[in-house]
Amino acid sequence: MTADQTGPVVITPHGAVRGRYEHGIAVFRGIPYAAPPFGPRRFRPPQPPEPWDGVRDAGAFGPTAPKPPYSEAFARYLSDPVIPGDDCLNLNVWTPEPGPGARLPVLVWLHGGALTRGSSAVPVYDGRTFARDGVVCVSVNYRLGVEGYGLFPDAPPNPGLRDQLAALRWVHETIGAFGGDPDQVTLCGQSAGAISTGALLAAPATRGLIRRAVLQSGPPEASDRDKVRRMVRRMASRLKIPATAEAFAAVDRDLLLRTQAEVGRLSSPVLGGPAFGVVVDGDLVPRDPLLALLDGDAAQGVQLLMGWTRDEYRLWFVPGGLLEHIDRLGPVALAAAMARCHAGHEVPRAYRALHPDAGVAEIVGQMVTDHLLRAPLHRLADARPGTSYLYEFAWPSRLPGLGACHALELGFVFDTGEVPESRKLAGEGAPQELCDAMHSAWVRFATTGDPGWQAWDASHPVRIFGDGGPYTAHGPRDAEIAVWSTARTVTEPGPASRIRAPGAEWAGAVRRLRRSAGARRR
C-alpha cells in the first residue's frame, strides 16, 4: 500500500486502486471483481475484469445492477439508489489499516431486496462503523432479477449467485492487501442476502472461503424451478418473445425491467407467487441448501449467527393498508396462508389458541414467518448446537403499524441509525444503546465467533434485542415451532374432509389476496 495527498493506494490482481480517508477509515468504492455482465457476457457466469493500467479511482460507489424501482408504497420506507453504468459487478472495502500484515477479521455483506432490488450503495450499509471497530467490511453488488436469476434453457442457472462466489474468491485472494485476514471471513446477508449466504454456505465451491456466517431474516433454501420458470414465461408472453436468454438479451433493458416489475407485482414473500430465486442446478447448488447443511456435509466447522425480527411480515402488510384489509378478509386470508404453507386447519387453530387476542393479519403474518423462516433456522441450529447463536430483534419502529418489521434492524447492525435512510423505517429517536448492543454483537461474532451470549443447546437460548437492555430468553418461539413439527403437510388442496376450502376456493383466496396486495403497492 502507498498513499499520496488524495488517498491510500492498494494493488489488486487487476490493477491499483486509490481510495479515500474518511473519519480515519480507508474507503475503496466501486472496485470491479468481475467484468461487466452485458454484451456476450449477458446471462453468463461472471468473467474476470480486464486489467487496467495506472491507478483507478475508487472514491465513489460503482454502478448498481439493473433493477426496477420500489413501488410508491414501499419507497416511503426503503431507499434504493440507482447508479447508471454497465460495470455493476463491483464491491466496496472499508478498512482501518490498508496494507498487508494487519490480518484483521473480514465481514462480507450481501444486501437484501428479494433478489430484484437493493445494492451496496444504500447508506444504511456504511461499513465505516465495522472498520472503526477493527473489522474490514466488504459490501457487494450482484446481478438481480431476470439478469441474475432467470431460468433459461440456453444459459446456466444462478448467475447472480455465481457473482457472489466470484466476489468471495476476490476477497480470499485480495483482502490481505487491504489489511484483512482471508482465513477469518464472515459472510453476512439479510433477507435475500441471507438466502444467498445459506446457498453459498452449502456450496462445495466455497469450502475454505467462509469461516463464519450470519443469516438475518432469510433461511437457506432453494426455489422451486417451476416457480422461477413461470416468472420468465410470463415476461416472455408479455414481450411476445421466446423464453430464452438469447431472446431476452435482445430486449431493451428498461422495457425488460418494466415487464419484470409488472409480472412480479402480485408476488410477495408472505403471500407467495412466481418469483426469482436460487435454484438447485447440479453444479454450484447441487442440492437444497438447507438439507445439505442439516446433513452436516456442508460448511463443517463454520459458526452461525442467525436471527429474525419479531414482526417480519409488517413490512409487507403495512404499506398501502394491506394489514387492515387482511383483517377484514378473515377466512379468505387464513385460507391463503394455509395455501402458502401447505398446511391444514389445525395450524391457524393452534396459533389462535397461542395468541387469542391477535388479529387475523398477525396470525397470518406470524404463521407464515414461522413456517418459512424461524422453523428452518431452529432446525439448522438443532443440527449444529454449540456453534450456532440465535437472536430476535424486537424493538418496535416509531412509525405507526410497523412494529419490529423486516429490515428495521439493519440501521442497528451497522450502527447507522442517524442516517435519514434508517429513519425512514425506524422513525425518530432510535436508542443509541440498542445500536451499540446490536452492532457490538456482530463485531464480536466476526472477530471471535461468539456474539456474547449462550450458544444454542437443548434450552434454546435466544438473545432478545428490544426496549431496555438485551436479555436471553429460552425457547421464546418453541410453542409456535412445535405446531409445525406436528402439522399435516398438504401438497395440494385435499378433499373437504381434510381441507374445508375446496381447491378452487383455496386458489381463489390466494389470488384475491395477491390482487389486493398488488393494488395497494401501486
Active site (catalytic) residues = 191, 312, 406
Cα separation, 376 vs 71, whole angstroms: 30
* Residue whose entry in the numeric block shows the C-alpha cell 471471513: 185
Cα separation, 65 vs 62, whole angstroms: 10
| Cell matching residue 334 | 387464513
| Cell matching residue 182 | 482471508
Comparing CA positions, the residue from 63, 58, 122, 118 lying closest to residue 94 is 58
Cα separation, 264 vs 266, whole angstroms: 6
Task: Enumerate long-range contacts of 418-421, CB under 8 Å, 24 or more apart.
Answer: 419/123, 419/124, 419/126, 420/123, 421/79, 421/122, 421/123, 421/124
| Cell matching residue 215 | 443469516
| Bridging pattern class, strands 2-4 and 7-12 | antiparallel
Cα separation, 193 vs 199, whole angstroms: 10
Residues belonging to the chain? 522
CA 33 to each of CA 102, 105, 235, 471: distance values in angstroms, whole numbers, following the listed order: 22, 20, 30, 41
Q: What are the start-end ranges of the E strands in 193-301? A: 212-216
Kindly compute the dihedral angle of the four CA atoms of residues 219, 225, 226, 228, in this order, to the nearest 10 degrees. Answer: 70
Kindly compute the dihedral angle of the four CA atoms of residues 78, 326, 278, 392, in this order, to the nearest 10 degrees. Answer: 70
| Cell matching residue 6 | 488524495
**β partners of residue 18:** 9, 57
Q: Please check whether residue 293 is in contact with residue 198, taking contact to mean a CB–CB distance below 8 angstroms.
A: yes
Comparing CA positions, the residue from 177, 165, 176, 178 lying closest to residue 208 is 165
Q: Please check whether residue 305 is in contact with residue 218, taking contact to mean a CB–CB distance below 8 angstroms.
A: no
Q: How many CA atoms lie within 13 A of 499 on its CB side?
A: 27
What residue type is 466 in one-letter code?
A: G
Cα separation, 232 vs 263, whole angstroms: 9
Cα separation, 115 vs 195, whole angstroms: 10
